[in-house]
A and B are shown apart, each in its own frame.
Chain A
Amino acid sequence: MHFIVCLKPVPKPGAVKVDPETHTLRRESAELILNPPDLYALEMAVALKEKHGGKVTALMMGPPNAADLLREAYALGADEMVLLSDRAFAGSDTLATSYVLSQAIRKLEPYDLVLMGKASIDGETAQVGPETAAWLKQPSLTQVKALWPEDGLWVAVRFFEGFEEEVEFRGPAVITVEPEVNEPRPPSLKRMLAVRALEPRVLSAEDLDCNLEKTGLAGSPTQVLGVFTPSYDREREVLTGEAEEVVEKLVSLLRTRGLI
C-alpha cells in the first residue's frame, strides 16, 4: 500500500514575522518545524504500513531549507521524501497550496490514501485537506481518529460535535487526522543515520505541470488587505500598590458593581 502524508513546514511558535508590504508571513526569517498536528497523520500512516505493508511518502510544499524537515519525517518512519519548491509557489493561500499538492499527488500515483494533519498551527484553517480532495475529485474525511482496511474497503471513525461516525469507503481518498489520537514515535537513530546519505526529491512548478495562474499570489483568491491591532478606548481603573492593598481595592470595586 502507498500512503502519502502531507507535512507543512511552520515557523517555530514565537518566531513569526509579518512582511509589512505583502502582509504575508516571512517564512525565511523564522526557524521552521514540522507542523505538530501532522505528526499524528504521519504516525497513523507509518503504523498502517507496518501492519499491512507498503510505503509512506512524505510530501511537503516549502522553501528549499525545509528539506531537513523531510529528513526528520524519514527518521519518524517515512520512506520517500518529496519537496515541492518553487518561487512560483510563494504567497499561496489554501486554494493555491492545495492545487500544488494535488498536482504532486497525481504524479505520485498509484496511492491508496493521502493523510494530512487537522490544521496547521500558523494558518489554522483546516482547509487544505478537503480542498486537495476537491481538486483530485476524491472523497475526503476530516477529523479521523481511527482507520483500518476491511474487505478491500477502508473504515474510518471520525468526530463531529456530539457524535462520532464509522464510515466505509473505497480509496483513494484524502483523510485529515485528529490530533492526539495516537502517540507519535520518537525518531529512530538508525533512520537518522541512513537519511544522511539521502536527498529529498525536489519538484518545481514545471515538473508538476502547474498552471502558473493557479499558484502563488496569482492563484490565491484571498488577499490580505491589511492588519491592525484593535484598540480599546475605554475607561479603566488601574490598581497599584502592595498586594494586600490592591486585593482590598479590587474586592471593594467588585462588590460595588455587584459582581461578588
Chain B
Amino acid sequence: MGGFWIYGQWQEGRFHPVVYELLSVARRLKPALKEKIVVVVLGPEDRREEARELLRYGAEEVLFFVHPDLGYFRDDLYSEVLSEAVAERKPAVFLFGATAEGQALAPRVAGALGLGLTAHCTAFEVDEEGRLLQIRPSFGENIMARIVSKTRPQMATVKPGVFSKAEPVDEPEGVLEEVKLAAVPGSALRRRVVRTLPRKESPLSRARVVVAGGRGLLRRENFDQLFELAELLGGAVGATRPVCHLGWISEDHMIGVSGETVSPKLYIGFGISGALQHTVGIEGAEVVVAVNSDPEAPLMKRADIAVVGDATRILPLLIRRIRELKG
C-alpha cells in the first residue's frame, strides 16, 4: 500500500524522457514524503529488460503489468488496467508526463476513480501534513497556484522538459515486480495504420542561446530581425504566445506553459513582459537578459541584466555592434 507512482510511458521501445524527469522529482521529494518510488509499466513480456533499466535511475520498484495485448497504447484498455491497479494497491501519489499519451490517460483514470488531477505542474512541495502541493501557473495573470487533492492518490501531470533527468544511482536496490495478467479488458479501439511524423524536435530545447521577442517589438519586421541576431550568436528564436497568435512566427517557437521549455546559457527577451506562462519555460536559463521600456515589467525583475529602453531601437544596434566585433 502507498507509494509514489510514476507512469512509465514508452516511446519507440524505450522510455519517454519525461519518465526520468519524474524519477528525479520523486527522488527529490523522497525525504519529505517517504513513499516508495514505483514506476508502473504496461507491456508485453519481451520488454522486461528495458523495464528493469529504470531501477538504475532510482526506481525502488518497477511494477510491470504484462500481457500480449498491451503492445501499444489504447486509452480505454490502459486506463482500465491502471485504474484496477490503483484501486487495489492504493498509491499515495501518481504522476504522469503531460505528453499526448499522458494527457489522454491520466484523466481517464481520474474520471474512472473519481480522483482529483492537476494538469501541467511545474513544481512540487510537501507541507507539514505530508500533502503534495501541486504548483502550476494559473489563470492568465502572473500567479502560481498551490493545489492539493482531497483524494488519494494525489494525481498530477508534469510538463516535459521542466525537471532535469534523474542521474543513474551507484547501487540500484529496487526490484522488478512482474504481474502477469491472465486477461485484460477488450478495447474499443483498433489501430489500422501508424505513420511517423517528421520529427519536429524544436531547435529551441537544445539551443545554447535563445533570443526571444514579444509584443513590445511592435511589428513583424522588427521581430524578423531576431533571426539575424540568432544567427550571429549561433542561437534559436523564441516567442511569446501573443506574437505567435499575431502570426509573426509559428507556434513551435512559443516558449512557456503552452510551448517549449528552454535551458540555454543565454536568453535575451525583447519587449516581453514576463508573464509566468512564459517564464516557466525559461527557468533553466543561466543568464537572463530583458530589454523593456518598462523597468517594472516582471521579466526585468527576474533578469540578471535588465536593459531599460526601446527594444525596436536596441535590437538593430545590438546586431550591428556584434557584427562589428565578429568582423
Contacts and interface: CB of A to CB of B under 8 A. Distances in A.
Contacts of B115: 95, 221
B309 interface: yes
Contact of B143 (A18, A138, A173): A18
B318 A247 contact: yes
Interface string A229-260: 11010111111110110111011011101011
Interface stretch (A61-69, A103-111, A162-170, A196-204): A162-170
A141 B144 contact: no
B149 interface: yes
Contact of A131 (B110, B118, B143): B110
Nearest to B76: A139
Contact of B144 (A98, A162, A227, A234): A227
Given A223-B148, A250-B307, A163 B195 contact: yes
Interface in A191-230: 214, 220-230
B141 interface: yes
A88 interface: no
Contacts of A132: 111
Contacts of A166: 191-195
A133 to B, nearest CB: 7
Contacts of A164: 194-195, 197
A143 interface: yes
Interface in B185-217: 187-197, 199-200, 209
Contacts of A138: 188
B interface residue count range (under 10 / 10 to 19 / 20 to 34 / 35 or more): 35 or more
Given A223-B150, A236-B304, A134 B192 contact: no
A43 interface: no
B199 A170 contact: no
A130 B75 contact: yes
A122 interface: yes
A140 B76 contact: yes
A229 B270 CA distance: 22
B317 interface: yes
A173 B194 contact: no
Nearest to A179: B251
Contacts of B195: 163-166
Given A159-B197, A165-B195, A246-B314, 16 more contacts: A94-B117, A95-B110, A98-B111, A124-B119, A130-B104, A134-B107, A134-B109, A167-B192, A169-B190, A229-B276, A243-B317, A247-B317, A254-B305, A259-B266, A260-B233, A260-B325
13 contacts: A128-B107, A129-B107, A142-B100, A161-B101, A167-B191, A169-B189, A221-B115, A222-B118, A224-B138, A225-B147, A239-B309, A246-B307, A247-B318
